[in-house]
Structure 1
Amino acid sequence: MTDICSLSLSELARKLQAREISAEAATAACLDRIRATEDRLGALLHVDAEGALARARALDAEGPDPNRALWGVPVTVKDALSTKGMPTTAASRILEGFMPIYDAFVVERLKEAGAVLLGKNNMDEFAMGSGTDNSAYQKTGNPWDPSRIPGGSSGGSAASVAAGQCFASLGSDTGGSIRQPAAMCGCVGIKPTYGRVSRYGLIAYGSSLDQVGPLARTVEDCARVLSVIAGHDPRDNTSDPRPAEDYAAGLADADLKGKTLGLPAEFYGDGLSPEVRAACEAAIDAAGRAGARIVDVRLPHTDAAIATYYILAMAEASSNLARFDGVRYGRRAADVQNLADLYVRSRSEGFGQEVKRRILLGTYVLSSGYYDAYYRKAAQVRRLIRDEYNAALSQCDALLAPVSPVTAWTLGSRNDDPLQCYLMDAYTLSLNLAGLPGLTLPVGLGADSHMPVGMQLIGKAFDEGPLLRMGRALEAALPHIGMPNL
């Protein structure tokens, strides 16, 4: 069973189609792995063991289907994604016990492709955090060292993949929430171009920033899952009409010869820790030896990205979370005196500290007298940031940059300083402002912490195919960090 869990998704898929492994055996192996590791990790808020095994047995009875790319593959999804008949809470008490009556678009796609859904991953409450330690239910540990964070807000998804609990997971990325935990847990994650994957059924945080994407163990695995979940959805008015591609096609022959990779100078400044810098420099050297031409580029407004992002994201959060009022669904305070008391008490009891902080700040920047000074100005700077990315990408095929200035820190060590946590997103959130795709892959282990270090390849809008091919070539040029010994 352990041997099954050490396979990549692509290897498992081939064995499933050849009937070398049954869907039930793969599912049982993952459930055994969950039972063996979950008390140390806390990566899952809900496990549907009975339902997963029943689904796997039904698939085995039907037989392998070469037209279903994920036939029999056990997966998990972040608890921000709606799952019919399975609890969906966004790791918040205000949605405790909520059972959706429909699946998110991406969950529909997973099921159509033959995947077996094992359960729902822990996350920062409403995706607001960088360590998966803002969950209302439990903290999640990093598989490489459970006393450290797995990253956030999709830390449960990254931890499950890295620990071998599943073969892929879906997360959401508002300001780096796929890429940062993928980097900190030593797996691969991609934030697609805004509009490439439907947000239908995703519990919203920042609607102009959120994007669903896969986390897996290899670039090929991510490409396979992205091929399944990408595509137009008429239920999401921000969904791009372009048809989905087979992103896994051509990966085997990918190389970096003739490719130009840009290094944004602003991402390699004094804030980068020595061990992360060393791992990144080794990866840049490896890319050069593999045939890539390395050039320097500039993104002058990078220093304004954190302020811009948090103004816009918190404003959108304030609007989006207004729907959680104790009236239609979710937590409702008992023994209330009137409607105002219902609103105040339900929201005060249901939301955690970080969520309340962001709602308050978002409401402030949208209020009369402050809208022009904050929100409008942030929207203008956002356009400058996007233009700078496009200008930099006109000089090269992709940008290559660190994901986090540090490796995973100790659980709870930064909870008393939210500003310090916000600064940890300095290398990821500008990409969400620009709406461009970013692929994170592991490049080594930190010399001091012995924790994974990740780098991100940033591409042009809707260029996920070329980005994944470059990522696969870079992956082949780098040493394999292996799986954690959990």
Structure 2
Amino acid sequence: MTELTDLGIAAIRNGVRDGDFSAREVAEAFNAAVAAAKPLNAFLVETPDHALAAADAADTARAAGETLKPMAGVPIGMKDLFCTKGVATTASSHILEGFTPEYESTVSQNLWNAGAGMLGKLNMDQFAMGSSNETSYFGNVVSPWRRSDGGNADLAPGGSSGGSSAAVAARIAPGATGTDTGGSIRQPAAFVGISGIKPTYGRCSRWGTIAFASSLDQAGPMARDVRDCAIMLEAMAGFDAKDATSLDLPVPQWEAQLNASLKGKRVGIPKEYRVDGMPTEIEALWQQGIAWLKDAGAEIVDVSLPHTKYALPAYYIIAPAEASSNLARYDGVRYGLRDLPDGANLQEMYAKTRAEGFGDEVKRRILIGTYVLSAGFYDAYYTQAQKVRTLIARDFQRAWEACDVLLTPTAPSAAFALDEKSADPLAMYLNDVFTVPSSLAGLPAMSVPGGLDAAGLPLGLQIIGKPLDEQGVLNAALAIEERAGFTARPGKWW
């Protein structure tokens, strides 16, 4: 029999429903896998009792002949950016160490309402700021992958949702929540050979999710394959009156409408995504992806997104500006860390608390954000960046006149070693070069694994869709998934 931890979300849901195994057996298997995977440092808090309680509720409902909930019997990992009632939530930062929310985020509550259970809280880059999961106060997450050429270096699982990507790839969670501000679902998914989708901005509520950049942050699922992402996204999404940016629209039946045939669809290939120094393996995979989508019936068209080169600089003005505003609330007064030296006044307490509580990358972005919002520079930087954002969104609108979805690489390289880029923030920021434009435009976008590089590490392809067309993105990703036949998985060393 297949090990229960080898099963994805759909297989677990169906197996529990059909009585092939109990939900408790699934929860116990994953709880044991989580407990045995300490070297990955993927989980900050383990919640085996939560997973077992949800499993017992599913088993009880099945025994009573009730219709099971959409994710009954499925235990998942929860990124530590989502507030979970009674369970520590820190955004992987010292400044929130020990904070236990008295409320549940809307996204996590939606998942519990759908029958899912929680295996624990997943490690991440501090306040979601990072592309390698090296900025967490609680230590680096280590990718379960190793290079096949004999290199034994610990690899980055991507970021900021690095705990989520590592947990799913290592088979210690069948699915996990992520958040994506500039690529934090898609880039880590590409690095570890799993799927992940950032829905249209507003599809998933931001209420109860610790804010980084409010006009960009969006929750989404990370899972083994496209179908599992569709199932999980259906459970996560929905209107929330508590979030002013939430879209008041019904949640489509994405799983039921999955269709890998792209007959009559046009796929755009943006010429601006061919960047200098891009590895030949990334270019080769992109060409292979084009061939796969042609085989699925799509027409391939060349498109231009002329303002793409300005996306990364605009993002690294807008996102830090919003972060500097959002993170002003962490002052040592109401919750979290308080560093109060003897004889210190209020101003000194603020300064000491924030200096001790925030990591270097968070401080860097707060400083940048505060600078670009300051009186003498607001128009020169922040206003200009917002104008560029409008032009980038307009580029996409014009592209949709010629195509239905876009195909690009997800990341400019495969996973790199931990510490390889941490001393060079600009090199790290370039990881987001392919994912940031769609974030600035609020578009749905997904990474799906396409193959391995010469060192045996996963490479991902990205599908970008029109606003609210998650279905088109999922279908194109499914077409790639079926043709890529990606079954590679990391060898267990932990």
What range describes the TM-score normalised by the shorter chain of this pair?
Answer: over 0.9
1:259 aligns with 2:265: yes
For 1:321, which of 322, 327, 331 is the aligned residue? Answer: 327
Amino acid at match of 2:45: H
Match of 1:284 in 2: 290
Q: Within 5 Å, which residues of 2 pair with 1:336-415?
A: 336=342, 337-415=344-422
Q: Which amino acid aligns with 1:53?
A: L
Which letter does structure 2 place at the counterpart of 1:6?
Answer: D
Residue 67 of structure 1 deviates from its aligned partner by 4.8
Q: In structure 2, the residue corresponding to 1:443 is in which secondary structure?
A: strand
- 1:30 corresponds to which residue? 30
1:464-483 mapped onto 2 (5 Å cutoff) = 464-483=470-489
Q: Could you tell me whether the CA contact under 8 Å between 1:84 and 1:102 is conserved in 2?
A: yes
CA contact (8 A) 1:279 1:445 kept: no
Partner of 2:45: 46
* Equivalence for 1:8: 8
Alpha-carbon distance in structure 2 between the residues aligned to 1:163 and 1:394: 41
- Cα distance in 2 for partners of 1:97, 1:256 equals 49
SS at the partner of 2:426?
helix
Q: Name the residue aligned to 2:150.
A: none
Q: Does 1:70 pair with 2:71?
A: yes
* Residue number in structure 1 paired with 2:141: 140
Q: How far, CA to CA, are the matches of 2:355 and 2:23 in structure 1?
A: 44
AA partner of residue 15 (structure 1):
G
- The residue that corresponds to 2:112 in the other structure is 111
**Alpha-carbon distance in structure 1 between the residues aligned to 2:423 and 2:207:** 34
Q: Is the 8 A contact 2:69 2:114 kept in 1?
A: yes
Deviation string 1:134-157 (CA, Å, 9 cap, x unpaired) is 101011111212711000000110
Q: Deviations over 1:81-115 (max 9, x none)?
A: 10001110000000001100111101000100000
Find the partner of 2:337 among 298, 321, 331.
331
1:331 shift after superposition: 0.2
The question of whether the paired residues in 2 share the 8 Å contact of 1:42 and 1:139 is answered with yes
Q: What CA distance in whole angstroms lies between the structure 2 residues aligned with 1:279 and 1:148?
A: 21
**Is 1:453 aligned to 2:459, yes or no?**
yes
Partner of 2:85: 84
The aligned runs of 1:305-316 (5 Å cut-off) are: 305-316=311-322
Secondary structure of 1:153's aligned partner: coil
C-alpha distance in 1, partners of 2:484/2:176?
23
Kept in 2: contact 1:407–1:449 (CA 8 A) = no
Deviations 1:463-482 (A, max 9, x none): 11222122212211212233
Take 1:459 and 1:431, find their aligned partners in 2: how far apart are those partners?
Answer: 9
**TM-score, with length taken from structure 2:** 0.95
SS in 1 for 2:36: helix
- Find the aligned partners of 1:363 and 1:95 in 2 and give their Cα distance: 21
Aligned positions, number: 483
Structure 1 unmatched runs, 5+? none
- Deviations 1:25-82, CA, capped at 9 Å, x for gaps: 101111122233332x111111112332233224323327545110010101110010
Contact 2:42/2:123 (<8 A) preserved: yes
CA RMSD of aligned residues (A): 1.4
1:169 aligns with 2:170: no
- Aligned partner of residue 432 in structure 2, secondary structure: coil
Query: Which of 45-54 and 76-85 deviates more?
Result: 45-54
Provide, for residues 202-230 of structure 1, a one-character-per-residue CA deviation record: whole Å limited to 9, x for no partner.
10000000000000011010000111111
Q: What is the rounded CA distance, in whole Å, between the counterparts of 1:450 and 1:473 in structure 2? A: 23
Answer yes or no: is the 8 Å Cα contact 2:55–2:72 preserved in 1. no
Percentage of identical aligned residues: 47
- Deviation of 1:23 (Å): 1.1
Counterpart AA for 2:316: Y
Tell me the distance in 1 between the aligned counterparts of 2:53 and 2:14. 22
Matched-pair contact (CA < 8 Å) for 1:442–1:481: no
Distance verdict in 2 for CA 1:66–1:216, change over 3 Å = farther
SS at match of 1:453: strand
Does residue 198 of structure 1 match 2:205? yes
Which runs of 5 or more structure 2 residues have no equivalent in the other structure? 147-152
